[in-house]
Amino acid sequence: MSIGIERLAVYTPQYGLALADLAAARGVAPAKYTQGLGVQEMAVAPPWEDVVTMAATAGARVLRAAGVDPASIGMLLVATETAVDHAKPVSIFVHDLLGVGPHCRTYELKHACYAGTAALMTAADWVRAGGARPRRALVIATDIARYELGSSGEPTQGAGAVAMLVGREPQALILGDESGTYAGNVHDFWRPLGRREAIVDGQHSVDCYLIALAGAFQMYRALERPPFEPDEAFQDRVARMLYHTPFPKMAMKAHRRFAELDWRASHARWAQVEPRLEEAAAQSYVELAAPALTAVSRIGNTYTASLYVCLASLLEAESRMLTGRRVGLFSYGSGSCAEFFSGVVPTSAPRVSDTGIATQLRERTLVDVPTYERLARTGDAGGEPAAGFAGEFVFHGVRNDRREYGRVEPVAARASA
């Protein structure tokens, strides 16, 4: 029985900031951000949006595109590390805004950037456990990456949500049966209660990420069937590699580590590759990893959603070429837990490949640094949307300690009104 992602939809806010502009304002060489980190632009969330509204907009779009009745969703999982309450889950707000029925298991998941994958795997297991029963889950990863203005993390912010329908008719990605995992308690990134911006030990986080990648991949590689030929590498079996991407250079570092580990594990292959390792690794990166980084280089870090922004971007750009081919995926969440898994792009993928990313990036407005700083300082205030708002749900604000949300007409309906 095939289980996997039936369809995806992405939502990212209507505003973006060019990293070259941010660099100029911070007195940093633009190439440090655009080449050193690989970020070209980052999404900026206005005060009338939060993780709930972004998740609900992505969810509404995926349900509408797939023609799925919200009442038929039996499991709604929302992954975020930008929770809006210590007790009340983001998922129940989303449940309400989407009109999902009462007979639904719904909750919020947190484990830094890994929670989106935890939700996807939980949903897939739930569908699998249902046997022939017609189970379909809605998994949404939604986050706003915020660091302090002027901090070293500032150029690695971003915002967005990815909604995925998970079920037994996977038209976007058939999930493989195996995965490799790796967990360990580290302090590389965290957000103490009461703080709006995260604390990150960035260089340590890079090291933790690479250690977790090695651990998860080595476990996964040992489970791979059929066994490898003496000169065969895992890379030969995949068409693309997708990584959790807090900034695109991280994916490059990750792929460099992965490629070497993979080749070293095949003795005959390592003997061929070792004399020209850097050249071979660079070539492997260009072929396998770089194609999935187009959208993240313009949206920035979306924490739990980042890996799935890469998947959506890849499917929009290359689904026709990738049909029948396998992709490898690596998810990392600080703190830490990581998972390495794979999936096959089915022949139906081109029919569901419009996830909305290219359209939203084309239509969004780039703001200047003073506007970005004003939006960042206004924070979680709520409000009424400005002209050009592309979302379908609005965060009005907090009254009597309760968050209030509302719906606006979808853009297409507004345009034709």
Minimum CB–partner distance for residue 338 and ligand COA (Å):
10
Q: Which residue in 106, 205, 304, 331 binds ligand COA (CB under 6 A)?
A: 205
Q: Which residue in 45, 94, 100, 113 binds ligand COA (CB under 6 A)?
A: 113
CA distance to 16, 84, 91, 300, 381, per residue, from 404 (Å): 25, 12, 14, 27, 11
Interface region with ligand COA, contact rule CB under 6 A, candidates 52-60, 130-138, 245-253, 384-392:
245-253
Taking CB under 6 A as the rule, which mask of x and - marks residues 271-310 in contact with ligand COA? Answer: ------------------------------x---------
Cα dihedral 254, 258, 261, 266, rounded to 10, equals -160
Identify the active-site residue in 41, 49, 81, 108: 81
Identify the active-site residue in 95, 111, 244, 255: 244
Is there a catalytic annotation at residue 113? yes
Identify the active-site residue in 108, 113, 310, 318: 113
User: If you ran DSSP here, which 8-state letter would residue 285 be given?
Assistant: I
Note whether 249 binds ligand COA by CB under 6 A: yes
Element (DSSP H or E) covering residue 84 = none
**CB within 8 Å of 109: residues ≥ 6 apart:** 77, 78, 79, 80, 115, 118, 119, 122
Q: Where are the alpha helices (DSSP H) in 181-239?
A: 202-223
Helix (DSSP H) and strand (DSSP E) numbers for the chain: 14, 16
**Distance of alpha carbon 413 from the chain centroid:** 28
Note whether 24 binds ligand COA by CB under 6 A: no
Taking CB under 6 A as the rule, which mask of x and - marks residues 207-236 in contact with ligand COA? Answer: --x---------------------------
The answer to whether the beta carbons of residues 53 and 393 sit under 8 Å apart is: yes
CA distance to 75, 76, 131, 138, 156, per residue, from 103 (Å): 9, 11, 19, 14, 39
Note whether 38 binds ligand COA by CB under 6 A: no
Q: What is the per-residue DSSP string for 29-63?
A: -HHIIIIII---EEEE--TT--HHHHHHHHHHHHH
Is there a catalytic annotation at residue 310? no
Note whether 31 binds ligand COA by CB under 6 A: yes
Note whether 23 binds ligand COA by CB under 6 A: no
Minimum CB–partner distance for residue 205 and ligand COA (Å):
4
Note whether 152 binds ligand COA by CB under 6 A: yes
Question: Which tokens is 110 given?
Answer: 């947190």
Backbone angles phi, psi at 229, to 5 degrees: -70, 160
Euclidean distance between the first and the last CA atom of the chain, given in angstroms as a whole number: 44
Taking CB under 6 A as the rule, which mask of x and - marks residues 304-343 in contact with ligand COA? Answer: ----------------------------x-x---------
Is there a catalytic annotation at residue 208? no
Minimum CB–partner distance for residue 188 and ligand COA (Å):
6
- Cα separation, 159 vs 43, in Å, equals 5
The answer to whether the beta carbons of residues 243 and 297 sit under 8 Å apart is: no
Interface region with ligand COA, contact rule CB under 6 A, candidates 149-157, 232-240, 269-277, 342-350:
149-157
Minimum CB–partner distance for residue 252 and ligand COA (Å):
8
Minimum CB–partner distance for residue 364 and ligand COA (Å):
22
Count of residues that interact with ligand COA, criterion CB under 6 A: 23
Note whether 153 binds ligand COA by CB under 6 A: yes
Q: Any idea which residues carry the catalytic annotation?
A: 81, 113, 244
| Interacting residues with ligand COA (CB under 6 A) | 29, 31-32, 35-37, 113, 152-153, 155-156, 189, 200, 202-203, 205, 209, 246-247, 249, 301, 332, 334
